[in-house]
């Protein structure tokens, strides 16, 4: 029975693994030390090293001190300070990264949290910050929901009063002007007809305001019908070509989620009509058992990178999305157009968020 020759690399790999394991264990032990003891250890190492150097070297300081001795003392102090700076920067590096992570959290981007830390004190700080972020996000969501609900109630009230009061008066005035234009003498018939057209135009403008204040048919006919009417209205009023591909959304969907989808679509179409009137817009709505996805894209000039996407309209849409726990993504670049994607959880996911 032969014996295979022993390779010169036998035993090296296990040794490397043991060395790597010792390094990892040492790193974990160092991370488990509190920040106070890390700082104390760093300063103790620097001071002890400086003391050992003074004891083991023949350096002395006479009185009065000579120029050479002063230069030696200054060089030693500088070396101690540099070593202390390097070690302290290493000790405080996790705290700096934690501060940068805290600063990067966007209140309008829900669900983003800091990663857990092995350091006990920093881990406690991260857990406290994440708990505070959860509480603030929940409170912001509830307060935003109350505010926007109050706004919608006020919109509904104003729309009802305009329709019932001013609309009825304008309708009655239009009927009177129709009769007056027929019975008027030739000398004033032209003025009567002009007054009638002015009243008819005012009535149409009033109806447009009422439709803008409260989406027509959203409660009775559903989100799909309301978005169809919205795209048709925008195309007729602004001449903006809008292509739509809308899935049938069940009427039992959460009214708040349906209203958020409608308002964000309305804001997007208004922005395109204002900033890119010659663009072509595509609006799609897909419905699954878990999500509603609204996607609005255009081939306009896009958003300039020099102007951050942080306008009033964008903030309005983000707050609307936050109200129902939805995510809003805006992708744009100069000369490539803009795409807005809204993903709204429905069913069990929406219940879990609530």
Cβ count near 178 (within 10 Å)? 15
Per-residue pLDDT averaged across 276-296, rounded? 89
pLDDT band at 137 (very low <50, low <70, confident <90, very high): confident
Give CA–CA dist 15/72, Å, rounded. 43
pLDDT of 313 over the 80 cut: no
The pLDDT value given to residue 4: 47
CA 73 to centroid of chain Cα atoms: 55
Is a pLDDT exceeding 70 seen at residue 24?
Answer: no
Residue pair 70/59 in contact by the 8 Å Cβ criterion: no
Please tell me the distance from the alpha carbon of residue 344 to that of residue 255, in angstroms, as a whole number.
12
pTM of the model: 0.59
SS3 292: strand
Q: How far apart are CA 90 and CA 87, in angstroms?
A: 5
Say if residues 265 and 233 touch (Cβ distance below 8 Å): no
Report how far residue 94's alpha carbon sits from residue 89's, in angstroms, rounded to the nearest whole number: 9
Using DSSP bridges, classify how beta strands 281-287 and 327-333 pair: parallel, antiparallel or unpaired.
unpaired
281 token code pair: 């817009």
Residue 296 has pLDDT above 90, yes or no: yes
Q: Which of these ranges, 102-106, 309-313, 321-325, 340-344, has the smallest mean pLDDT?
A: 309-313
Regarding beta strands 281-287 and 242-246, do their DSSP bridges make them parallel or antiparallel, or are they unpaired?
A: parallel
Q: Contact 241/281 with Cβ under 8 angstroms?
A: yes
Across the range 120-135, mean pLDDT stands at 80
pLDDT > 90? residue 291: no
What's the pLDDT at 12? 46
Q: Which residue has the higher pLDDT, 194 or 37?
A: 194
| Interaxial angle between packed helices 120-161 and 312-323, expressed in degrees from 0 to 180 and rounded to the nearest 10 | 100
Question: Using the 8-state DSSP alphabet, how is residue 200 labeled?
Answer: H
24-28, 165-169, 247-251, 267-271: range with lowest mean pLDDT? 24-28
| pLDDT score of 265 more than 90 | yes
- pLDDT at 103 exceeding the cut of 70: yes
Q: Band of the pLDDT at 242, cuts 50, 70, 90?
A: very high
- Continuous segment of H or E residues that includes residue 47: helix 35-56
- Most confident residue range from 65-79, 128-142, 288-302: 288-302
Determine contact, residues 241/276, Cβ cutoff 8 Å.
no
């Amino acid at each position: 029975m032969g014996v295979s020759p022993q390779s010169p690399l036998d035993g090296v790999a296990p040794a490397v693994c043991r060395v790597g394991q010792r390094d990892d264990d040492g790193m974990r032990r160092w991370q488990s030390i509190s920040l106070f003891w890390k700082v104390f250890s760093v300063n103790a190492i620097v001071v002890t090293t400086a003391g050992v150097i003074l004891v083991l070297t023949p350096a002395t300081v006479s009185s009065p001190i000579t120029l050479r001795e002063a230069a030696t003392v200054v060089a030693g102090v500088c070396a101690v300070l540099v070593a202390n700076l390097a070690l302290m920067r290493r000790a405080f590096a996790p705290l700096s990264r934690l501060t940068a992570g805290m600063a990067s959290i966007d209140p309008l981007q829900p669900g983003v949290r800091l990663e857990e830390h092995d350091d006990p004190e920093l881990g406690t700080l991260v857990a406290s910050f994440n708990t505070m972020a959860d509480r603030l996000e929940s409170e912001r969501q509830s307060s935003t929901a109350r505010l926007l609900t109050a706004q919608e109630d006020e919109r509904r009230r104003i729309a009802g009063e305009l329709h019932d009061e001013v609309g009825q008066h304008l309708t009655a005035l239009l009927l009177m002007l129709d009769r007056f234009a027929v019975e008027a003498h030739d000398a004033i018939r032209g003025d009567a007809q002009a007054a009638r057209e002015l009243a008819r135009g005012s009535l149409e403008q009033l109806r447009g305001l009422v439709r803008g204040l409260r989406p027509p048919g959203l409660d009775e006919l559903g989100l799909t019908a309301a978005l169809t009417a919205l795209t048709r209205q925008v195309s007729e009023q602004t001449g903006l070509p809008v292509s739509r591909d809308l899935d049938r959304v069940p009427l039992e969907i959460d009214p708040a989620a349906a209203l958020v989808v409608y308002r964000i679509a309305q804001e997007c179409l208004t922005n395109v009509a204002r900033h890119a009137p010659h663009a072509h817009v595509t609006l799609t709505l897909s419905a699954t058992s878990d999500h509603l996805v609204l996607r609005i894209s255009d081939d306009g000039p896009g958003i300039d990178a020099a102007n951050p996407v942080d306008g009033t309209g964008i903030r309005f849409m983000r707050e609307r999305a936050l109200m129902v726990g939805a995510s809003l993504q805006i992708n744009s670049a100069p000369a490539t157009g803009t795409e807005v994607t809204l993903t709204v959880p429905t069913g069990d996911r929406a219940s879990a968020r609530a």
